[in-house]
Amino acid sequence: MKKIALILISTIISISCNIYFPSAVSVDSKKLFLINLKTSDNKKILYIDKNTQINSSNIGEIIVTKSNVKITFKFPFTKNSLTNIQKIKKIEDKTGSVTLIFKGGDYYIENLIVNDYDKQNSLKTTFKIKTPNNSRIFVKNCEIKNYKNTSFNVALNKNNYPNALLLYSLNNFKIDIKGQLLGNFYFYGYKDFYLKANPNSLVKGAIHIDGKFINDKVKIKYIKPKDMYKLVVCNTLPPRVNEKINNQTLLGIDVNNNGIRDDIERWVVKNYSKAKYSKVKIAIALQYAKAAQIIIKNPTYENSKYLDNAIDCQTYFESKKAKKLRLNGYQFIKFALKHDVITSKFRDIIFNTNKRLKQYFKYNEECSGHVFESNIDDPNVCVIDIDKLEE
């Protein structure tokens, strides 16, 4: 099982973000976890000249040859990670006027290149990214450069709430356009970071880690440095849910389509973000919440592995810390109780209606009589690499 090194987990939480206009900010690279970015090994080249939807998880090179084309990236729900992942070798737009629609999840792209090669064409064009649900785009190399009056626009999602796109560039990042750079999105640059557009440009946030930060005329809107993590959390959490509507159905509301009920996701981040080992606790809790949602939907013995892995992940963390801290038996029990994540209170919040509770009881009946193996020494029971999350 491939694991993810989280970037987005915060040690500070505020559901209400107070945004203002400060100067450019750098963030200590030690405070952010670099993702283990493994992009596609697919060598196929796909030339696109019409509206296209791509559903596969491992995509080769995409070269757009015709303007005003829409490309939709949508990968089916997966049970083995906390988010949907599409790997893409390359996206190259040779027209400067394409719309990329990311349906939600994580997208690993080796090269994102937008470059209008026709210097003679003076028509205005717009390169667009749309995100109906929360999306994160991790790019090894990003260059958006145009000779004509091209704009780069990221549209608000359909619900118009401020959870949109986060764009990470692990190498040099460059946007150099004559038109407007505008949208509800955040840039994270790990090396040289270059933004240039017309004076009417405005983006929500830009965080710079190492290398040079060069900003030419682009207004940047974000919060003060000490609350930088708050920016991340406030713009990746789903919006507040209507409890009455949320509890009318078995599965409830999941607007960001990550397999975790939105009220649970918000509760987890808010409840554990200030706790000791906050990143690990949030990771374990979200894994359990996603597993529980699978059980609520389909309470079978075959699905017990998802719940078991989440529980074993918690025990793996506790056991590893006990060895590191050299705890005796009594001290270990005390430590485990103090830092328990999968508590009865947490389960009560998840299975909070009669219908959901009945599914949980049905699941327990299905599992009755079966023998379960423990994998508490295996880090692979965790869908997120919690070894990289320890504070």
The 10s digit of each residue's pLDDT in 39-72 is 788 999 999 999 999 998 899 999 998 888 999 9
User: Tell me, what's the pLDDT at 159?
Assistant: 44
295: region left, alpha or beta (phi > 0 left; psi from -120 to 50 alpha)? alpha
Helix (H, G, I), strand (E, B) or coil at 102: strand
pLDDT, mean of residues 293-302: 95
Residue 17 lies in a domain: no
Domain of residue 196: give its range: 29-233
What is the token pair recorded at 200? 């009417």
Answer yes or no: do 198 and 58 share one domain: yes
Answer yes or no: do 183 and 244 share one domain: no
What is the token pair recorded at 13? 């939480």
Answer whether 147's CB lies under 8 Å from 44's CB: no
Asked whether the CA dihedral 34, 35, 36, 39 is positive or negative, the reply is negative
Percent of the chain with pLDDT over 90: 30
- Where are the alpha helices (H) located in 242-277, listed in sequence order? 243-246, 262-272
Where is pLDDT greater, at 179 or 325? 325
With cut-offs at 50, 70 and 90, classify the pLDDT of residue 194: confident
User: Tell me, what's the pLDDT at 60?
Assistant: 95
Residue 9 lies in a domain: no
Answer yes or no: do 244 and 188 share one domain: no
Average pLDDT, the chain: 77
Percent of the chain with pLDDT over 70: 73
Of 187, 214, 233, the position where a domain reaches its end is 233
Cα Rg for the chain, rounded, in angstroms?
Answer: 22
What is the token pair recorded at 252? 């409830």
Answer whether 258's CB lies under 8 Å from 286's CB: no
Query: Which residue is listed with tokens 């998802």?
Result: 306
Domain total in the chain: 2
With cut-offs at 50, 70 and 90, classify the pLDDT of residue 154: low
Asked whether the CA dihedral 263, 337, 1, 140 is positive or negative, the reply is positive
- Tell whether the model's pLDDT for residue 300 goes beyond 90: yes
- Tell whether the model's pLDDT for residue 384 goes beyond 60: yes
CA 174 to mean position of chain CA atoms: 22
Residue 235, strand partner residues: none
Answer yes or no: do 136 and 167 share one domain: yes
221 burial via Cβ count (<10 Å: 0-12, 13-18, 19+): middle
Q: What angle do CA 353, 355, 356 make, to 5 degrees?
A: 65
Q: Tell me, what amino acid is at 352?
A: N
φ and ψ at 208, to 5 degrees? Answer: -115, 135
How far separated are the first and last CA of the chain, in Å rounded?
24
User: Tell me, what's the pLDDT at 379?
Assistant: 85
Q: What is the spatial distance between Cα 340 and Cα 360, in angstroms, rounded to a whole number?
A: 21
Answer yes or no: do 352 and 204 share one domain: no
Residue 4 lies in a domain: no
4-13, 173-182, 354-363, 366-375: lowest mean pLDDT where? Answer: 4-13
Residue 22 lies in a domain: no
pLDDT, mean of residues 175-187: 77
Answer yes or no: do 192 and 115 share one domain: yes
Where is pLDDT greater, at 281 or 31? 281
Answer whether 88's CB lies under 8 Å from 70's CB: no
Residue 5 lies in a domain: no
User: Tell me, what's the pLDDT at 294?
Assistant: 95
> What is the longest distance spanned by two Cα atoms in the chain?
77
Of 206, 233, 260, the position where a domain reaches its end is 233
User: Tell me, what's the pLDDT at 13?
Assistant: 29
Helix (H, G, I), strand (E, B) or coil at 54: strand
Helix (H, G, I), strand (E, B) or coil at 376: coil
pLDDT, mean of residues 339-359: 96
User: Tell me, what's the pLDDT at 376?
Assistant: 73
Answer yes or no: do 195 and 229 share one domain: yes
With cut-offs at 50, 70 and 90, classify the pLDDT of residue 34: very low
User: Tell me, what's the pLDDT at 350?
Assistant: 97
Mean pLDDT is highest, among 142-156, 188-202, 275-289, for 275-289
Give the β-pairing of 219-220 and 202-208.
parallel
Answer yes or no: do 181 and 115 share one domain: yes
Helix (H, G, I), strand (E, B) or coil at 349: helix
Answer yes or no: do 322 and 353 share one domain: yes
Answer yes or no: do 333 and 350 share one domain: yes
Residue 149 lies in a domain: yes
Residue 1 lies in a domain: no
Where is pLDDT greater, at 12 or 193? 193
Answer yes or no: do 188 and 293 share one domain: no
User: Tell me, what's the pLDDT at 22?
Assistant: 29
User: Tell me, what's the pLDDT at 15?
Assistant: 32
- Tell whether the model's pLDDT for residue 157 goes beyond 50: no
Of 233, 262, 280, the position where a domain reaches its end is 233
Residue 18 lies in a domain: no
Answer yes or no: do 229 and 244 share one domain: no
- Tell whether the model's pLDDT for residue 317 goes beyond 80: yes
28-42, 118-132, 188-202, 307-321: lowest mean pLDDT where? Answer: 28-42
36-40, 260-264, 323-327: lowest mean pLDDT where? Answer: 36-40
With cut-offs at 50, 70 and 90, classify the pLDDT of residue 162: very low
